[in-house]
Amino acid sequence: MSPTHLDGAVLVVDDDHFQQELIGQQLRDIGWTDLLLADSGDAALQIYDAHRGRIRLVISDLSMPDMDGLVLMRHFAKRKLDAALILISGVSDEILNSAAGLASAHQLRLLGVLSKPNTPEMLAALVSKLNHQAFSRQTSSDASLSPERLRLALDNDEFVPWFQPKVNAQTCMPEAVEALARWPRSGGGMVGPGQFIPAIENAGMADALFYAMSRQVIAAMKKWRQQGIRLKAAINLSMDTALNLDMPEHLHTLVRDGGLQPRDFIIEVTESRLMVERSLAMESLTRLSLMGFTLSIDDFGTGYSSLVQLIDLPFRELKIDGSFVQRSSQEDKAKTILRISASLGKNLNMEVTAEGVETLEQLSYVRDCGCDTVQGYYFAAPMPFDACTQWLLAQTPAQ
């Protein structure tokens, strides 16, 4: 098993020169001679920036002064590291394991972890995995969803928000609208978010979509205010964007420049990914909440949150997944989950929303469970701006 047929260099990051040399020798012994050495995280990033594209594998120590391996991983994640990664450390296995969890939360391609002192065989076994992994990130087979096409669509502002009202469960008056992304096609069709959002996230363009949606939602709210319609707007946030530490300030600036306030906005984050990447997202989510944005846990019940996890996060709204609402008509279990979720949210002083309400029977049940707000086809489906304006004007008493 020789990696000599593989192109590319290995970047070895370790502040301990003896260890660096040892790994270097083990790599040369298995035939890998193109080595780049860094004795700190800063040096590693400089080398990576200068040689990116050529670096096939990064082997990094975890404990280093100044920038440790955890911080280095965060910087690599920002740069969308396209090399594979091996972590190595003299610390406990527990720490290595949680570092591995962090690497996968950062979506880094981790080949494995090594405890010091490692044997040449252990390193060779991890390196051999490289042969089985594709070098580049996967690209979509559908040409319309290629990164190039998506970039063009973002640059041309082709993605537009449709709006679905969220109404008060008791009065049935609209309190907010949720913005849901739509991609109109030239032939008159419409691509739904289920298709293009994963492609946008894979292409690393989630931030651009979030800002494009935010800008259009802000513009829509300004127009509604001119017509006397005052509502909050909910915007869906991809986990990729929640991990971006600059996002809160950027969003705040957009909102302020539009003459609006953070309290006019609800930011919805899907529960399943939230729990996987919770600690990483905590910083920007907490900052959003400090700025006054309302944070909402979307699709509640489909992930695996524990009570402890919920208590730690600054969420003020809990949205019970529509599948429970719809199944509640037939299944007692779904009914029970819905009731318990609503009561959990109420007991944590959260605003509870039921989504996907399609019938009067479902509305009565979610009301009975104590849900504060309701969303679903029973009231209105997502609509383009003009249709939503008509709908809102018909609901709102003249002022």
Of 64-72, 189-197, 300-308, 331-339, which segment contacts ligand C2E by CB under 6 A? 189-197
Q: Which of 139, 304, 377, 393 binds ligand C2E (CB under 6 A)?
A: 377
Q: Which residues bind Ca ion (CB under 5 A)?
A: 236, 268, 298-299
Q: Which residues pair with 267 in a beta bridge?
A: 235, 295
* Nearer to Ca ion among residue 99 and residue 191 (C-beta): 191
Q: Which of 65, 187, 189, 194 binds ligand C2E (CB under 6 A)?
A: 194
Per partner kind, with CB cut-offs from 5 to 8 A, the member of Ca ion, ligand C2E, none near residue 164 is ligand C2E
**219 binds ligand C2E, rule: CB under 6 A:** no
Question: Nearest Cα to 120, choosing from 184, 204, 31, 50?
Answer: 31
Q: Which residues pair with 165 in a beta bridge?
A: 177
**216 binds ligand C2E, rule: CB under 6 A:** no
> Which residues have a Cβ under 8 Å from the Cβ of 102 and sit 6 or more positions away?
70, 73, 279, 280
DSSP 110: E
Structure tokens at 262: 């953070």
Rounded-to-integer distance, Cα 15 and Cα 73, Å: 16
Per partner kind, with CB cut-offs from 5 to 8 A, the member of ligand C2E, Ca ion, none near residue 89 is none
Rounded-to-integer distance, Cα 21 and Cα 9, Å: 16
Q: Do the beta carbons of residue 296 and residue 271 sit within 8 Å?
A: no
Write down the least CB distance from residue 107 to Ca ion, Å.
22
Q: Which of 164, 202, 214, 296 binds ligand C2E (CB under 6 A)?
A: 164
Of 29-37, 69-77, 115-123, 187-195, which segment contacts ligand C2E by CB under 6 A? 187-195
Rounded-to-integer distance, Cα 54 and Cα 27, Å: 17
Number of residues interacting with ligand C2E: please give it, by CB under 6 A.
24
Q: Do the beta carbons of residue 381 and residue 356 sit within 8 Å?
A: no
Rounded-to-integer distance, Cα 196 and Cα 268, Å: 18
Q: Which of 117, 184, 192, 259 binds ligand C2E (CB under 6 A)?
A: 192
* Nearer to ligand C2E among residue 61 and residue 299 (C-beta): 299
Of 15-23, 99-107, 112-120, 355-363, which segment contacts ligand C2E by CB under 6 A? 355-363
Question: Nearest Cα to 194, choosing from 143, 236, 137, 232?
Answer: 236
Binding site for ligand C2E (CB under 6 A): 164, 180-181, 192-194, 197, 209, 213, 236, 238, 268, 270, 298-299, 322, 355-358, 375-377, 382
